[in-house]
Amino acid sequence: MGVDSLARRSWVFHFIASSQPQGEKGEILDYIDAQQRSVERALMRGKTVVITGGTSGSGEAAAEILAKKGARIVLVARDKTRGDATLARLRNSAPGVAHSIYFC
């Protein structure tokens, strides 16, 4: 785990400890997870990620994860059918972000 990740977790924990009423352990952990996801989305919002090979395998998985975190995805692909299908999934999973694709 990197320093940035530890710092984010520490910040989220501090925020929760100082502002969240006591509750069930599971509820607090769910709240921590939700806050961390919110911080991660904020860190990727406004970023553009270019992914080659993003229509299958690990490239496709990375594209979907980053899109859900708020990044704008630019795919570089060879297969038009797979590219269009991946682009449609990205647009459904993260609407309002201008994902695009270029074919080579």
Question: Using one digit for the tens of pLDDT, what is the confidence trace for 40-95?
Answer: 666 778 889 999 989 998 889 889 888 888 889 999 999 999 999 999 999 998 88
Domain boundaries, the chain: 3-43, 46-103
Identify the weakest region by mean pLDDT among 9-13, 22-26, 78-82: 9-13
Question: Cα separations (Å) of 4 from 15, 35, 39, 95?
Answer: 16, 15, 12, 28
Task: Collect all residues with Cβ–Cβ distance below 8 Å to 64 and sequence separation of at least 6.
Answer: 89, 90, 93
Other beta carbons within 10 angstroms of residue 32's beta carbon come to: 17
Q: State mean pLDDT over 18-32.
A: 59
The pLDDT of residue 66: 87
- Is the CATH number of domain 46-103 3.40.50.720? yes
DSSP, res 54: T
Whether the Cβ atoms of residue 79 and residue 53 lie closer than 8 Å to each other: no
Entry pTM: 0.61
